[in-house]
Amino acid sequence: MSCEKEFVKKVIPGVKNIIIVASGKGGVGKSTVAATLATSLVMQGYSTGLLDADIYGPSLPVLFDIQESRPIVIEEAGVTKIEPIIRLGIKLMSIGLFIDPVKAAIWRGPLAASGMKQMIDQTEWGELDYLIIDTPPGTGDIHISLLQEYNIGGVIIVTTPQTLSTGDVQKAISLYSETKIGVPVLGVIENMSWFTPEKHPEEKYFLFGKGGGESLAKRFNVELLAQIPLNEKICEECDYGKLLAVLESKGIKDTFANIIKKINQELPV
Ligand SMILES: Nc1ncnc2c1ncn2[C@@H]1O[C@H](COP(=O)(O)OP(=O)(O)O)[C@@H](O)[C@H]1O
Ligand SMILES: [Mg+2]
């Protein structure tokens, strides 16, 4: 007799593909990648939503400069519906729009997971080609709930080149590749791969080591989707809600166009 549980994975009506952006580690650029990816998808004409599932450290309100926005909540015949905030054409939802992140930071795992599920289920996403979910660091309740309960199209793993970072990230890839609840790993994005000074565009400084993303991809037999350089502008501009300015850089724009091409091959709409 088998005691393994079968998981019935929920499909969100109208949403064609859900993509998780994850990493074992914080500060590697998950939120930056998730937000830039969502913006690039919309610029290419895909209807896109972005859910910030980082209950403990939501960054979407800052990235899109919507800290003061409050989503409209409608109660209808005992059913709660939440209108997403729309910026740059992206349907956005974040726990950071409802509660003080300091309060959320003390939520225990199960409460955090149920908060995340409410946001997914109650938001009026409408018709979406892609719903991107930005996740907290680690491999906790939020990640496991997402995998057990929703029909996820694939996961993109973000890492920096250091061994330590890739070591943590290996745990995350192992979770996502798990046979029972795992989902396709669409590939690895190595962020902060090198630094190129503006005045010396031919030079590359590998400040955080070299080759971590590539060796990680090889080890798990997945694709290295992109290497994104460390860029002073990304840091400044994302802090001020100016993602469009980031995508004015031809290098970044092309990098994300390439990532979308690969996503689109795996998860067509
Ligand atoms: N390629 C990059 N170049 C410069 N700064 C970056 C880059 N990627 C991310 N950052 C900055 O690093 C910090 C952490 O990024 P973030 O996306 O919040 O990471 P995570 O979501 O993994 O915790 C932010 O201040 C962000 O603006
Ligand atoms: Mg983040």
What pLDDT, on the 0 to 100 scale, is given for residue 217? 93
What pLDDT, on the 0 to 100 scale, is given for residue 235? 67
**Gap from CA of 29 to ligand 2 centroid (Å):** 7
**Is 4:163 a contact under the CB 8 Å cutoff?**
no
Q: Which atom of ligand 1 is nearest to the CA of 231?
A: 3
Does any domain span residue 94? yes
- Does 26 sit in the ligand 1 pocket, CB within 6 Å? yes
- Does 251 sit in the ligand 1 pocket, CB within 6 Å? no
Mean pLDDT (10-residue bins), the chain, 269 residues: 66 96 92 95 97 90 91 92 96 89 72 88 97 94 92 96 82 88 93 88 90 92 94 67 77 94 96
Q: Which ligand is nearest to the CA of 28?
A: 1
Q: Which of 32, 51, 234 to mutate to test the pocket of ligand 1 (most atoms within 8 A of CB)?
A: 32
Does any domain span residue 8? no
Q: Read off the pTM.
A: 0.93
Does any domain span residue 9? no
Does any domain span residue 162? yes
Does any domain span residue 254? yes
- Does 38 sit in the ligand 1 pocket, CB within 6 Å? no
**Gap from CA of 134 to ligand 2 centroid (Å):** 7
Does any domain span residue 5? no
- Count of the separate structural domains present in the chain: 1
Question: In which domain, by residue range, is 65 found?
Answer: 15-266
What pLDDT, on the 0 to 100 scale, is given for residue 238? 60
- Does 28 sit in the ligand 1 pocket, CB within 6 Å? yes
Q: What's the CATH code of the domain at 195?
A: 3.40.50.300
Q: How far is CA 149 from the centre of its chain?
A: 18
